[in-house]
Amino acid sequence: MANFDTGSTGFMLLATSLVMLMTPGLAFFYGGLAGKRNILGIMIQSFVSMGITTILWYVCGYSLCFSGNEMGGLIGDFHKCFLNGVDLNSVFVSDSPNKMPEFVFFAYQMMFAIITPALITGAFINRITFKAYLVFLVLWQVLVYYPFAHMVWGNGLLAQWGVRDFAGGIVVHATAGFAALASVIYVGKRRDRESPPNSIPLIAIGTGLLWFGWYGFNAGSELNVDAITGQAFINTDVAASFAAITWLAIEWSLVKKPKFVGLLTGAVAGLATITPAAGYVTLNSAVIIGIASGAVCYLAVSLKNRMGWDDALDVWGVHGIGGCLGTILLGVYASKAINVTGADGLMLGGTTFFIHQVVAVVGACVYAFVFTYAMLGLINLVTKVKVGEQEEVAGLDAAIHGEQAYDAGVV
């Protein structure tokens, strides 16, 4: 039996559990924001990813992301499909001297793969058939998530180019956010856009679970227990806090009322924005990133409204723009004094690194947008993507799933 470091292994199992909790948290967050006739329809899209993505990750996902280096570093190979060659003695290879089982790394990365496509679902709430979503879930991961996970975290093309993404600004949030925008443009607007959130307390519960789980998302991405783990943890909390208060202050000044949903949305924006930079920047930089996130993501949502894009739950403005902003600001504020495996950003003379960050995130956004739009068109040739008028008016909970979130006399 290999001699594993019990401290790091135990911490990574905890971090894996925290990231797993984020997907139910996302379901609660989206479920609270949804109209009362589409609560279950949006929540099942998160929960079903936990099942299908796990199967897909075991069959080929892990191998395509973290085994080999094919097509010039664009994707991995199939050598570890079905966890071929991985057993109790298999060691995850990293720069750290503290060894952990490869099983643990497999599970940790699987949780990222589960939540990423689920993020997209908030954009097209009550407009996508469940059959089409299941096809979308599989194809989008294989052809969008897996290549970027490999290129950035699997020592692929972007990693070799010097691009850094600590926990998923490019891999998770930018790709999901711009895929969400493409989905919204493809399926068009809801017939009833005035449907208010059905439960703000449920949104708050979801936000709390997301915030809690994000400590595993970001601090766990160090894949070890050291000072950088602590740095990523506190950077995450501080950025989310500053973003939440910034969003609240801006909205309060404009609409003259302090909105609870705005505070919660600002926190999620801050969490998404600090994600790529969490383990590479100072605490002071995290403060700046948090403030920038609250302001820029708020403006992005306002732009979305003016443009008439029916991104129902603001996935593009919060996750897409947040992921892009965080990746670019990492290019500005990164410091090797914090993490020697990172880089020095623009503020420390790292002009080339900054350019690489910008080019990488723009390329990821363009690819995710174009591919997602084209893929939905192809899926529609096989099974109808957009729900019919009667289904949309009735709500997907009853029309597709035959269930309702609350007894008729309750809500």
pLDDT tens for 280-318 read 999 999 999 999 999 999 999 999 999 999 998 999 999
pLDDT of res. 202: 96
Predicted confidence band of residue 109 (pLDDT cuts 50, 70, 90): very high
Predicted confidence band of residue 410 (pLDDT cuts 50, 70, 90): low
pLDDT of res. 398: 93
Overall average pLDDT of the 89-98 stretch? 79
Average pLDDT, the chain: 95
Quick check: 93 pLDDT over 90?
no
Overall average pLDDT of the 133-162 stretch? 97
Quick check: 105 pLDDT over 70?
yes
In order of their start, the domains of the chain are 6-399 (1.10.3430.10)
pLDDT of res. 190: 86
Overall average pLDDT of the 177-200 stretch? 90
Quick check: 98 pLDDT over 60?
yes
pTM: 0.95
Torsion 305-310-314-319 (CA) sign: negative
**Tens of pLDDT along 192-235?**
777 788 999 999 999 999 999 999 999 999 999 999 999 999 99
Quick check: 133 pLDDT over 80?
yes
Quick check: 140 pLDDT over 70?
yes
Overall average pLDDT of the 68-86 stretch? 95
Q: Which residue has the higher pLDDT, 2 or 191?
A: 191
Q: What percent of the chain has pLDDT over 90?
A: 91
Quick check: 329 pLDDT over 80?
yes
**Tens of pLDDT along 23-57?**
999 999 999 999 999 999 999 999 999 999 999 99
Residue 193 tokens read as 């856009």
Quick check: 91 pLDDT over 80?
yes
Predicted confidence band of residue 3 (pLDDT cuts 50, 70, 90): confident
pLDDT of res. 196: 84
pLDDT of res. 192: 74
pLDDT of res. 409: 59
